[in-house]
Structures are given as C-alpha cells and as structure tokens.
A = this chain, B = another copy of it.
Amino acid sequence: MNNKIPVGVLGATGTVGQRFVQLLENHPWFEVATVTGSERTVGRPYADGVNWKINGDIPDGAANLIVQPTEPNLGISGTSPIVFSALPTAEAREWEPQFAAAGYAVVTNASAFRMTPDVPLLIPEVNPTHTELIPTQQANNNWSGFIVASPNCSTTSVILPLKVWQEAFGLEAALMTTMQAISGAGFPGVSSMDILDNVVPYIGGEDGKLENEPKKLLGTVTDGALALADIRASAQANRVPVFDGHLASVSVKLGQKASVAEAIAALETWQPPAVCAELPSAPERPLIYRHEPDRPQPRLDRDSEDGLAWTVGKVRQCGVLDLRFMSITHNTLRGAASGSILNAELLVAQGFIKR
C-alpha cells in the first residue's frame, strides 16, 4: 500500500463526497481506503452505489471499494486515521463526535459543529493557528481524536480579502450580497423550474452562516480559547443560474481609512502563512486581484489555480461604508472538498496527524 495515509470518506456517495473521492485520486499523501454511504448503498461496490454527477469518470481506485456503513470502525490501518466527512447535517451531528471519540481526525465539510467554540473552523490561508483549539477540544470531550471544520461555501467566497484588510486596516463591518451557483445545493438540489431564467433570493440558513462564520474565522485563539472577531455583518444570499462559483458583492467599514490604492496593494502584496508552502495542494497564488472592470466572473475565474484561488476585483469607494469589492471562489472545490483536503494537509504539517 505504498506510504500514503489511508483515509475514509464519510457520505461518499453525495455530490461533495464524490468530489472528495475524485480529488483524493493521486493525492501525494492520502489514499482513499474506505467509503461510507447510506443504507441503500452499503455492501455494494462504490461504482454501483453512486449516482456520479461530476465531470470525468469514477476513479479506478475507488470504483471497487465496498460501501461501508457510517460507523467508527472502518478498519483503516495505521495510527492516525483520517476521515473526510461529507455527511448531511443531521448525520454529521450524530456520527462525527463518535468518530472523534474513537480516535479519528474528522475533517468535515458539514455545518454541524462549525460554530462550536472548541472546534477549529479552519482555512489554512486565513487562520492556521486555530488548530490550537484541538487540545482544548480533546480535553473538553475526553476524545483521542478531534473534529476540524471547513466553513460554508458562501463564507469562503469572501473571507480571504476580509482577512487581508482586517490585518492591514482593521475591519468593523461587512455588508454582503451573494450570487451563488446551483451546485452548492447538491443533486437534485435546485429544481430547474425554480432557477432557469430566474434568481431566487433565498438559500435556507445561508444568510446566518455568512453573518456568523466570518466572526469565528477572523477571531483569535489565545491559550486554547477562541474570541470571536467584533465585526458587524449583514448578508443576503441569492441563487443564480450559474453552475459553479459563488460570487459576492461586499461593502466594508474599516478600522482605519484606506485609499483604494492602499486596499488593492494590501491584496496584491499579501503572502500566505509560511506553513502553506508545505501543503501539497496549496495554490501558488491563493489571492488573485484582477484590474479589469468586469471581473471577477464565475465562468472565467472559478477554475483559477485548480479552483483553489480567491479572485477579487472592483475595489472602489463605497458611498455608504468605506470600500466595495467583488470576490469569487469555486464553491465545490475551495468552498468544500478541496478546502477540507487542505485542512487535512495542514493537520499533517502541524503534526496533529502523524504520517
């Protein structure tokens, strides 16, 4: 089995689960050893149980794996078992703690524990030190494993430029309106009758996630305890007839005044945390600033850096707050599966997972 770390994918038959399986094919550090699925699919080869909905074929390595029930006894060899969780919220709430209790590193894309104070809500480029919450979490729960969460895909789309400006100028408020892709709802997800030639100004629970998760991601961890950032936030999430890519229009109030030129310079000169250089999936240019007046656009920018970049543009004065800008990320890559894989790489680089 070569030297790779065997990993499990929980909820591997859903659309996010499919992305995990696809992206982990040929990963330099990880190898899918186990996939779990719903009762309907358990016991069948993965290729039979899954309704494959993403481009390309099912990876050969995963096609013949027998789908297992989602239980913390996956028979993954080695001392640092990792599971990537693409479980629905209710199942995540039930099973992820059991996996953590059983010693697994649960790297989850589910929302169940994102706002739990001792669970790191993590993006390597934004808050890599929040993994310092892990010992607290293990002590609080008496777990040998732990849970680390990725934020909602809409939160991801805006967070890096907010982080850069928070560091450079301070950040007091963010007012956000998103235009989100249909793939964010999974399959079958959004009915074509709702979205063709239309916009739907409602995504259940999304406004709240987008208002709350940034406060945690931009917060500080001191002595193993998290303090939320003191930022006022307001969000309106809209669904638009776009396949992939969540685009956000954001206005901010800064702690200290910054000119448009200074704000752009802060984005263009920003460097990712040093640890990112050690992560094999980390993009070369995580933050791309485009100067054209009509960018970023979902179709042209979502795939930048293999779908792992933030593309930002249109920084200008806001007539009401301080500055406006537009930002986009690929919602099922940076905003979901790829983001969680990067989190797992960070945990290896920081020694929370042993190779």
Contacts and interface: CB of A to CB of B under 8 A. Distances in A.
Interface in A281-310: 293-300, 303
Q: Which of A232, A303, A321 has the most CB of B within 10 A?
A: A321
Interface stretch (A4-12, A130-138, A155-163, A175-183): A175-183
A199 B238 contact: no
A201 B296 contact: yes
A198 B179 CA distance: 10
A233 B201 contact: no
Given A190-B191, A192-B182, A192-B191, A201 B247 contact: yes
A207 to B, nearest CB: 9
A182 B193 contact: yes
Contacts of A177: 177, 236, 249
Nearest to A253: B320
Copies of this chain, tallied across the complex: 4
Interface string A188-221: 1111111111111110000000010000000000
Contacts of A187: 191, 193
A314 B236 contact: yes
B300 A55 contact: yes
A125 to B, nearest CB: 21
Interface size, A (range): 35 or more
A324 interface: yes
Chief secondary structure at chain A's binding surface: mixed
A299 B183 CA distance: 13
A193 B243 CA distance: 7
A153 B307 CA distance: 29
A314 B207 CA distance: 12
Contact of A196 (B174, B197, B200, B294): B197
Contacts of A198: 242, 297-300
A299 B53 CA distance: 10
Contact of A320 (B189, B190, B233): B233
Contact of A241 (B174, B238, B240, B251): B240
A199 B240 contact: yes
A234 interface: yes
A191 B188 contact: yes
Nearest to A301: B55
Contacts of A182: 192-193, 196
B201 A249 contact: yes
A85 to B, nearest CB: 22
Contact of A234 (B235, B324, B326): B324
Given A15-B193, A175-B319, 9 more contacts: A182-B192, A197-B242, A198-B242, A199-B242, A201-B297, A234-B319, A234-B324, A240-B241, A243-B299
